[in-house]
Amino acid sequence: MDAFAQGLLEILKGWGVSDAWLPDTVTTGLILKAIFAVVVVLAIMGCCLYTVLLERKTAAWAQGRVGPSITTMPLIAAIPLVGKVLTYCGFIQPLADGGKLFMRQEPLPEHVNKFYYCLAPCLALAPAIITMVMIPFTSYINPETGEETALMLCNMNPGFVFMFAISSLGVYGVVLGGWASNSKYPFLGSIRGSAQMISYELSLVLAILPVVLITAGTSDNPLSLFSIVQGQGGFWNIILAPLSAVIYFVALLAEMNRQPFDMPESETDTVGGFHTEYGTFKFGLFFTGEYLHMILGSILFVMFFLGGWHALPFMPTLGLDGVLGTLLGIVCLVVKVIFMLFVIIWIRWTVPRFRFDQVMRIGWKLLLPFAIANAVAYFVFFGIYETLLK
Amino acid sequence: MATQNIKVITRKPLRWWEKLYIPQVLAGMKITLGIMLRKPVTLKYPFERPVIPKGYRGVPTLVKDQNGREKCVSCQLCEFVCPPKAIRITPGEIDPESGNEHIEKAPAEFEINMLRCIYCGMCQEVCPEAAIVLQGEYSLNGYSRSGMINDKKKLYELGGTIPDPVRKWDKKKRA
Amino acid sequence: MSEDKTNLVTINIDGKDYQVAAKQNLIDAAHSLGIEIPHYCYHPKLPMAGSCRMCLVEIGMPMRDRATGEPVMDEATGKQKIGWMPKPAIACGTNVSPGLHVKLNSKMTVSSREGVTEFLLANHPLDCPICDQAGECTLQEFSSQYGKGASRYRDAKNVKPKHKSLGPQVMYDGERCIRCTRCVRFCRDIMGRPVLGVTQRGSHSEIDCYPGTQLDGNYTLNVVDVCPVGAMTSKDFRFKMRVWFLKKSKSICTESSVGVNTTVWSREGKIYRITPRENDAVNVVWMSDSGRMLYKTVTAETRLTGFRRGESEVTFDEAVDAALALMKDGVPAFVASGKMSVEEQFTLKSLANAVGGNVYLAKTLGENDKMLISEDRSPNRRGALVTGLVKDFDSSEISALAAKIDADEVKTVFVCGEDLKELGLTDEQLKKVEIVYLGTQANATSEEASVVLPGRTVFEKAGTFVNQEFRLQKFEVAVPGAKGTENDLIILSTLAARASSGVALDNSLGSVWEKLRAACPALAGIDYAKIPDAGTLLDASPWANIAFPETGSLKWSPKK
């Protein structure tokens, strides 16, 4: 981040801004981090809203409908042409949806455990936001030294391990919400949810091991997300470890409670699942948490397997460096994440829900053995490669 | 049951790749993608209206003939036949100066309670003067119960003009 | 009809033998057997005309040899041979005779009816949607039952006056008319004013009044009743309501002590018309025009629609208590009315007994028209005698009440539906006393009344009347009571029950009748539910010495 700040200062100086107006490098770094933190949280929350829009639009397309296309705002409607296009795309719809959740009367059922009932939505949302801290959104390459630094709030060494640890806490929101609701459907939903998340967590992590092994070949710190993305300057991991990608993706769907694994809230058999008793803003928090998990999952998948912010295999920056390269990296990441989100939503509107016994069978009897076999295969391969071939 | 010719078909066992679900999921995604690329089949309803086919049984209305004469002679057969008793007619006499005095009778008030109406079309079927017609209007709403009762004025507004091919009353006037 | 076994003849209709009373025509005889012979011009209560030809039937008589007079036997069946007439005959002009054979479904009868119907319909307009007779039109019914169903007539129909006013009450439609002349015969033979006749010729003929006359009088609406089609229409009922919506209730006309039997036609609590009901002993099938208009009192502007004490609206209980307080404070007198039903008069009697006080009976007299309106213009003055409300008419004259008011012997007057001012009391006399008024219409007395108890009209309650010949006739509830009113019987019995702990509350006719049977010798053994539609004649001998004002009407005259 400091390096990025320095680069930015130099660009500003190059534009003729005098030194007196500019702070020193460290201060700039701190200011940038603060701005970055606020921007990240706001952007991610905004992304949540627009992911909902993407969900609604994709659902509409998959069903031959138009989807939200009427909601508008006076100012936006007044813009010629663009206003119409934005309206047709449902640009304002998420704001209306969010506003509706805010403005509704806030019910608090009589029979619930009030404290945990209110705590559960926060628990569902908080881990997802915390993990955002550790995501490198792109890198900055110093044009002069060629040194790469990550554009992230906190580049921890254990990296994604910490991230998995935190994001797994999201299940507590589900469990607590279902239990505190003191009602049978939420209870059933939360039990299913916790069982499912625990089952798929194993495969999820096992599927990453080959990626770590691959990264270990190029980096000293293979557990850091930044190193993993850096390692994909050539081949992307999806090419090097395709089975891992598939296993990871399936487990990811289950972790995110997305169709076909949305056991905790399957409307048809448990009404609304764990959030049956929730409404308005508290429901909104669950809802946002769910979509945050989805965005986070997509980002991680992109980081692990799709080359992160790299534009193309073997052409990570398309020859751009410095601040321009950084911006290109962000654009690439955003495009890839949107694609992943689309794929996830696309699957939801294609595949029906699994039965709970099927979920368990797939998790334990199919996914886990494959994940173990896959990991062992790479161990063996790298063992042979390291000891014999080198 | 035993005599029925039942043929038991055993389900074909799944192949190993079918058990992975993934090929099936991909095939399904191909189908949904195809639908996504198609044009939407829905109408943007309040802005776009469907084409109402001829003979559609929408809101019952009263119609006038090509001379602007109200066709209804308040015979009250529709009131009699109406299964949910939605129609209420107050008969009246035509003003002798109106030029239609040879018809003698016309409704003084004609009310159809659209909260009761079931759009069965029996009123139209029974009408000897072809004066009450279920037309294309299908969307109606109101803020109160009384607002859902269509009075004579509203019924003629909705109905408009349907020419009378027989011109029975014109012939009668000439005679 | 044919209870008299000595006068029975045997006729054969469609191969089946029936015993019917002699001296009647074939239509009536078939009617008494429940067999319908279609007809238009014939009306059982009018002279025969034989002009419509609808009742043509194939008839025959047992054959006899012309020379010897011996019966001609049919060898195949062993019975007497039937000599069928070569042409059909009209049933209305054929009296039943022993051995008469009739074919109602033979080819000749059926084709005769079809032919007649086709001729009648040739010039009949397709007016059913706007015709008031639709639904009770015999032409409609017989055309669908006996007509061909299609017309071969290609010419333009005759054009005639469509709405000609024949008189103050009746409109005439020449095109619908089938020239049956029932109306002409009614005017000539029943009403006694031959104003109607047939003008023009052939298919152009129509009914009209003789020059310088019009169809006036008080019985003109009967021509609307007798008209088999919609040619004669009542100006009052014209275009008001289709008859198939109307509910029929049996009632009694309150116009006079004749007690004309009526049918009240109402829909959803609103009365649309009153027509006569057949009772051969009272009104046959006729009724006065003025009696038909009495339904308008139900919604009259003068109708009382709320319990009042002084100027303020009060509840039923408050009004009853206020009335009782007035009666108990001052010396009460009761003005009964011949417009009250027998049951109400009886309950008034228990009230008078409980509170104490004399009962006076209002007397409203008018002219006798020798038809169906008698001198006594109240339907039930004899009921006051039957129930024992008054002993005789002379001692209960209103003039006696006036004298008592002048002498300050009466403080409170309980008036039942009568106007004391019209009965001869002066304004000063009215102001001197407190008045409790029970009635349906506002008048000078109700204006002065301290307590007003709004009652119900005869159409809104059930009960019985005793007419001029001591015939007990009952009437039914035709429409529910107007808002703010209460059944007179309930008001009176509540008053009586609260006045004295010894009197039980009667709020149903059944409980009143149990007491009536016990208390009134003339009514002993009569069950209200079993009073026939034609009424029951009571034993009038206890009151034989009383001078009644009536001098006789259409079917009744006082015994001398």
Q: Calculate helix-pair angle for A160-168, A114-132, nearest 10 degrees.
A: 160
Q: What are phi and psi of C52, to 5 degrees?
A: -90, -25
Start-end of H helices in chain A: 2-14, 25-62, 74-78, 82-88, 93-103, 114-132, 160-168, 170-180, 184-216, 225-230, 237-240, 242-255, 267-270, 280-305, 322-348, 356-361, 368-384
What is the reported pLDDT for B1? 54
CA gap C280, C554 in Å, rounded: 10
Instruction: Report CB contact under 8 Å: A64, B22.
Output: no
> Which among B19, B31, B41 is the nearest to A64, CB-wise?
B41
Cβ–Cβ < 8 Å for B106, B92: yes
* A50-A54-A60-A62 Cα dihedral, nearest 10 degrees: -170
Closest Cα in chain C, distance from residue B73 (Å): 6
Question: Among B71, B72, B76, B173, which would you mutate to test the C interface (most chain C Cβ atoms within 10 Å of its Cβ)?
Answer: B76
Closest Cα in chain B, distance from residue C157 (Å): 9
- Which residue shows structure tokens 């014109």? B170
Instruction: Report CB contact under 8 Å: A350, B29.
Output: yes
Whether the bond into A260 is cis, omega within 30 of 0: yes
Cβ–Cβ < 8 Å for C354, C496: yes
**Contact exists between A and C (3 or more beta carbon pairs < 8 Å):** no
Tell me which chain B residues have a C-beta less than 8 angstroms from the C-beta of A362.
21
Closest Cα in chain A, distance from residue B20 (Å): 8
Do the strands C56-62 and C82-84 form a parallel or antiparallel pair, or are they unpaired?
antiparallel
Closest Cα in chain A, distance from residue B41 (Å): 5
Cβ–Cβ < 8 Å for C431, C444: no
Residue numbers in chain A where pLDDT is lower than 70 = 1-5, 19-21, 146, 154-156, 390
Residue C453's beta-bridge partner residues?
A: C438
Instruction: Report CB contact under 8 Å: A62, B35.
Output: yes
Instruction: Report CB contact under 8 Å: A65, B42.
Output: yes
Residue in B with minimal Cα distance to A68: B44
Instruction: Report CB contact under 8 Å: C245, B79.
Output: yes
What is the reported pLDDT for C2? 43
- Asked if the C-beta of B21 comes within 8 angstroms of chain A's C-beta atoms, the answer is yes
Instruction: Report CB contact under 8 Å: B20, A350.
Output: no
CA gap A229, A161 in Å, rounded: 15
Instruction: Report CB contact under 8 Å: C245, B80.
Output: yes
Closest Cα in chain C, distance from residue B134 (Å): 20
Cβ–Cβ < 8 Å for A99, A109: no
Helices and strands counted in chain C (H then E): 14, 24
CA angle C439, C440, C441 (to 5 degrees): 105
The amino acid occupying position A297 is G
Helices and strands counted in chain B (H then E): 6, 5
What is the reported pLDDT for A390? 64
Residues 6+ apart with CB under 8 A from B33: A346
Instruction: Report CB contact under 8 Å: B42, A246.
Output: no
CA distances (Å), origin A4, targets A24, A26, A41, A330, A332: 13, 11, 20, 14, 18
- Asked if the C-beta of B35 comes within 8 angstroms of chain A's C-beta atoms, the answer is yes
Question: Among B22, B35, B48, which would you mutate to test the A interface (most chain A Cβ atoms within 10 Å of its Cβ)?
Answer: B35
Tell me which chain C residues have a C-beta less than 8 angstroms from the C-beta of B75.
128-130, 134, 242
> Which among C130, C244, C245 is the nearest to B103, CB-wise?
C130
- Asked if the C-beta of A373 comes within 8 angstroms of chain B's C-beta atoms, the answer is no
Tell me which chain B residues have a C-beta less than 8 angstroms from the C-beta of A349.
32
Question: For the stretch A354-367, what's the b/e string if a residue is b when 16 or more beta carbons lie within 10 angstroms of its beta carbon?
Answer: bebeebbebbeebb
Tell me which chain B residues have a C-beta less than 8 angstroms from the C-beta of A70.
44
Positions of CATH 3.10.20.740 in chain C: 5-115
Domains of chain B, each with CATH number or no CATH: 60-174 (3.30.70.3270)
Cβ–Cβ < 8 Å for A304, A337: no
Does this model's pTM top 0.95? My answer is no
Exposure of C555 in the CB half-sphere (CA atoms within 13 A): 17
User: What is the enclosing helix (H) or strand (E) of C222?
Assistant: helix C222-226
In the sheet that C261-267 helps form, which strands lie side by side, from edge to edge? C247-252, C261-267, C270-276
Positions of CATH 3.40.50.740 in chain C: 308-543
> Which among B20, B25, B40 is the nearest to A64, CB-wise?
B40
The residue-averaged pLDDT of B106-130 equals 94
Do the strands C463-466 and C358-361 form a parallel or antiparallel pair, or are they unpaired?
unpaired
Q: Answer positive or negative: Cα dihedral of A171, A172, A175, A181.
A: negative
The subunits that touch chain B, with at least 3 C-beta pairs less than 8 Å apart, are: A, C
> Which among B79, B92, B128 is the nearest to C129, CB-wise?
B128
- Asked if the C-beta of B96 comes within 8 angstroms of chain A's C-beta atoms, the answer is no
What is the reported pLDDT for C458? 94
- Asked if the C-beta of B31 comes within 8 angstroms of chain A's C-beta atoms, the answer is yes
Closest Cα in chain B, distance from residue A44 (Å): 27
CA-wise closest residue to A225 among A292, A134, A148: A134
Tell me which chain C residues have a C-beta less than 8 angstroms from the C-beta of B80.
242, 244-245
The rounded average pLDDT for each run of 10 residues, N- to C-terminus, in chain C (560 residues) is 68 92 93 94 93 93 88 84 93 92 94 93 90 92 91 87 92 93 94 92 92 93 95 93 94 94 95 95 94 94 92 93 90 92 93 90 90 92 92 86 89 92 89 92 91 94 94 95 93 91 80 91 91 92 89 84
Instruction: Report CB contact under 8 Å: A69, B44.
Output: yes
Tokens at C43, concatenated: 């009306």
Topology (CATH level 3) of domain C308-543: Rossmann fold (3.40.50)
Tokens at B28, concatenated: 């399904």
CA gap C94, C48 in Å, rounded: 11
Do the strands C434-439 and C451-454 form a parallel or antiparallel pair, or are they unpaired?
parallel
- Asked if the C-beta of B6 comes within 8 angstroms of chain A's C-beta atoms, the answer is no
Instruction: Report CB contact under 8 Å: C129, B77.
Output: yes
**Contact exists between A and B (3 or more beta carbon pairs < 8 Å):** yes
Q: Between B and C, how many residue pairs show a Cβ–Cβ distance under 8 A?
A: 41
Q: What is the CATH number of domain C123-239?
A: 3.30.70.20
Q: Answer positive or negative: Cα dihedral of C281, C285, C290, C292.
A: positive
Topology (CATH level 3) of domain C5-115: Ubiquitin-like (UB roll) (3.10.20)
Instruction: Report CB contact under 8 Å: A58, B33.
Output: no
The amino acid occupying position C119 is F
The subunits that touch chain A, with at least 3 C-beta pairs less than 8 Å apart, are: B
Question: Among A61, A246, A249, which would you mutate to test the B interface (most chain B Cβ atoms within 10 Å of its Cβ)?
Answer: A61
Cβ–Cβ < 8 Å for A130, A164: no
Instruction: Report CB contact under 8 Å: B175, C156.
Output: yes
The amino acid occupying position C326 is L
Tell me which chain B residues have a C-beta less than 8 angstroms from the C-beta of A58.
36
CA gap A287, A45 in Å, rounded: 11
